Homo-oligomer: A and B are copies of this chain.
Amino acid sequence: MKVIIVGGVAGGASCAARLRRLDEKAEILMVERGPYVSYANCGLPYHVSGVIADEANLLVATEAMFRAVFGVEVRTNCEAIAIDRAAKTVSLRNVLTGEASVEPYDALVLSPGAAPVRPPLPGIDLPGIFSVRTVPDARHIREWLHQHEAPKTGMDSYTGFQTVTKPQRAVVVGGGFIGLEMVENLAHLGLEVTLVEKLNQVMPPLDPEMARLVENYLVKHGVNVQLNDGVAGFRQCPDGTIEVLTASGKNHPADVVILAIGVRPETALAKAAGLEIGARGGIRVDEQMRTSDPDILAVGDAVEVKDFVTGQWTLIPLAGPANRQGRIAADVIAGRDSRFRGTQGTSICKIFEGEIGQTGPSEKVLRAAGVTDFEKVYLYQNSHAGYYPGAKMLAVKVLFRKSDGRFLGAQVLGEDGVAKRIDAFAMAIQMGATIYDLEEAELCYAPPFGSAKDPVNFAGMVAGNLLRGDMPIVHWDGTGDGLLLDVRNPAELAVESVPGAVHIPLPQLRARLGELPRDREIHVICRSAVRAYYATRILLQNGFNARNISGGMLARSHRA
């Protein structure tokens, strides 16, 4: 049996290694268009800044290792240019020498990945404009920054003259994972960074109100965040710098530009071969990663996958699923009945000290999928016991089914402990947990790591209080007709108050119930909706019609 694998990074490399373990006799040929196989594309932004100092560290497994350990024939700088499905052959071409060959296959695995989107804008090919996909890309950015290094700040130690400080300015176009990671790493190098994003939010997988927190955080760290403004073109200035022109007519000067607008599945080869392409633009595969031609499988960023929760086709260009798909493709070729269970879109992104985590669909994805049987709650909890140093607030949005409590998705932001919660949430979704299961989760606790009631438990409790009818809630955009009752302390109101709200501090509430109307819905406010929950319980049991405003003032602070 001869297996050809097109693409030697995450999915392809996983497939090759797994297939060899399953079948010592198969002839395996892995071709990769670039100069390296199995490199750490997730590490590229950190190599640009030198956080990952040595380029060699990005090479997870070398060509030599694939040959020696896995007995896999590797051809780098080798592009697959055509598939003859009838003849079961692939035409290959060396991108450096132009040398061509035709290789027969019994099974073919496509793992070409996804290419950075490069719209045909005026000036897009100017020097100094980069995408971040390959090891050479990172190398070119490093070289560019080094060549264009600005004079250092401060006194010249020899002449005594003060040198003129000219910090480098970067424009990052696109505020997704790679865009944000590039923002951090360029800022780490001391550049002034402008982030230009066409949408009304950064981090498109997040719901907009959660993205608001990220935007505020970027601004706090000195990033110039420009939303709702796409790039119209690029212009080279006489001094060699670039002007980034936007749709709204703005003009952002830059010494370097990073394009991180998103990625598009590499489907040219598959399309030309007549393989089915899905509506989202990825190669269509079944649960066993088979394309519409059963002898051709496809994995990784190039394929469409099913959202595990909504069942809808989606594109999730992430390394974890790509690796698992590669493994599954190898299993299937080796005659095993492995299946891909779909994706939850579980992700995390570091931005400065912040962590942005998500698993399961967002509210907007649920709405786009036509799901109406869901509710959401917001909560704000310490990352670990508040009395132990270093606790940070986690902002959590939880989505769940109203009808049966099934837990659907979570978004968690903060500067500590996000990954811990996302992984618990991710496992819960995978196993079909309800928010009642979250209430009862027994997670690890010691003061440096969590709380006796973990934010994951709180998420379940808040949702459970809602579904059991113990705590009707309302969101800030639904408070129109209610009487706003603020139960915070006077000192808190001095900092920020809500126009029109009645103020009764929680400890006085029982004694002052007579001041509240019985013919009107009361919407209770506190800082994080915990005290407002206590107040809501007091009110409900005293015959009032009360609702807690989910997330309280903290949720108000980042409304979309």
Is A46 within 8 A of B445, CB to CB?
Answer: no
C-beta contact mask, A111-152 vs B, less than 8 Å → 1, else 0? 000000000000000000000000000000000000000000
The verdict on A278 contacting chain B, using a C-beta distance below 8 Å, is no
Q: What's the nearest-Cβ distance from chain B to residue A326, in Å?
A: 10
Which of A308, A323, A359, A452 gathers most chain B CB within 10 Å? A452
Is B21 within 8 A of A537, CB to CB?
Answer: yes
Q: A431-B431, A431-B433, A443-B346 are in contact. Are A470 and B40 (CB under 8 A)?
A: no
- List B contacts of A358 (CB < 8 A): 444
The verdict on A453 contacting chain B, using a C-beta distance below 8 Å, is yes
Is B348 within 8 A of A445, CB to CB?
Answer: yes
Is A320 within 8 A of B445, CB to CB?
Answer: yes
Q: A42's closest neighbor in chain B, by CB? A: B447
- List B contacts of A423 (CB < 8 A): 420-421, 423-424, 443-444, 454, 456
User: In the complex, which range does the number of interface residues on chain A fall in?
Assistant: 35 or more
Is B324 within 8 A of A440, CB to CB?
Answer: yes
- List B contacts of A437 (CB < 8 A): 430-431
- List B contacts of A42 (CB < 8 A): 385, 445-447, 452
The verdict on A507 contacting chain B, using a C-beta distance below 8 Å, is yes
- List B contacts of A346 (CB < 8 A): 442-445
Is A57 within 8 A of B442, CB to CB?
Answer: no
- List B contacts of A453 (CB < 8 A): 320, 323
Q: A387-B60, A450-B419, A510-B71 are in contact. Are A320 and B427 (CB under 8 A)?
A: no
C-beta contact mask, A438-463 vs B, less than 8 Å → 1, else 0? 00111111111110111011000000
Q: What's the nearest-Cβ distance from chain B to residue A327, in Å?
A: 8
- List B contacts of A308 (CB < 8 A): 442
Q: A316's closest neighbor in chain B, by CB? A: B442
The verdict on A341 contacting chain B, using a C-beta distance below 8 Å, is yes
C-beta contact mask, A393-412 vs B, less than 8 Å → 1, else 0? 00000000000000000000
Is B388 within 8 A of A46, CB to CB?
Answer: yes
Measured between alpha carbons, how far is A20 from B68 in the docked complex, in Å? 69
Q: A10-B452, A69-B534, A323-B452 are in contact. Are A444 and B419 (CB under 8 A)?
A: yes
The verdict on A541 contacting chain B, using a C-beta distance below 8 Å, is yes
Q: What's the nearest-Cβ distance from chain B to residue A440, in Å?
A: 6
Measured between alpha carbons, how far is A341 from B442 in the docked complex, in Å? 10
C-beta contact mask, A340-361 vs B, less than 8 Å → 1, else 0? 0101101111100001011100
- List B contacts of A10 (CB < 8 A): 452
Measured between alpha carbons, how far is A317 from B439 in the docked complex, in Å? 19
The verdict on A318 contacting chain B, using a C-beta distance below 8 Å, is yes
Is B341 within 8 A of A440, CB to CB?
Answer: yes
- List B contacts of A350 (CB < 8 A): 446, 448-449
Q: A347-B444, A426-B442, A446-B350 are in contact. Are A387 and B431 (CB under 8 A)?
A: no
Is A320 within 8 A of B69, CB to CB?
Answer: no
- List B contacts of A432 (CB < 8 A): 431
- List B contacts of A23 (CB < 8 A): 541
Measured between alpha carbons, how far is A537 from B21 in the docked complex, in Å? 6
Measured between alpha carbons, how far is A446 from B351 in the docked complex, in Å? 11
Q: What's the nearest-Cβ distance from chain B to residue A444, in Å?
A: 4
Which residues 8-31 of A have a CB within 8 angstroms of B?
A: 10, 20-25
Measured between alpha carbons, how far is A446 from B24 in the docked complex, in Å? 33
The verdict on A92 contacting chain B, using a C-beta distance below 8 Å, is no
Q: A24-B542, A506-B69 are in contact. Are A444 and B426 (CB under 8 A)?
A: yes
The verdict on A553 contacting chain B, using a C-beta distance below 8 Å, is no
- List B contacts of A387 (CB < 8 A): 40, 43, 52, 57-58, 60
C-beta contact mask, A29-59 vs B, less than 8 Å → 1, else 0? 0000000000010110010000110000110
Q: CB < 8 Å: which of B426, B445, B449, B538 contacts A424?
A: B426
- List B contacts of A357 (CB < 8 A): 444
Q: A510's closest neighbor in chain B, by CB? A: B71
The verdict on A428 contacting chain B, using a C-beta distance below 8 Å, is yes
Q: A540's closest neighbor in chain B, by CB? A: B24
The verdict on A170 contacting chain B, using a C-beta distance below 8 Å, is no
The verdict on A504 contacting chain B, using a C-beta distance below 8 Å, is no
Is A24 within 8 A of B541, CB to CB?
Answer: yes
Is A442 within 8 A of B359, CB to CB?
Answer: yes
Q: CB < 8 Å: which of B318, B440, B454 contacts A430?
A: B440
Q: List 12 A-B contacts (CB under 8 A).
A: A20-B537, A24-B537, A43-B385, A51-B389, A52-B389, A57-B387, A357-B444, A418-B444, A419-B420, A423-B454, A424-B424, A427-B433
Chain A residues within CB distance 8 Å of chain B: 10, 20-25, 40, 42-43, 46, 51-52, 57-58, 60, 68-71, 177, 181, 308, 318-324, 341, 343-344, 346-350, 355, 357-359, 385, 387-389, 417-424, 426-428, 430-433, 437, 440-450, 452-454, 456-457, 470, 506-507, 510, 531, 533-534, 537-538, 541-542
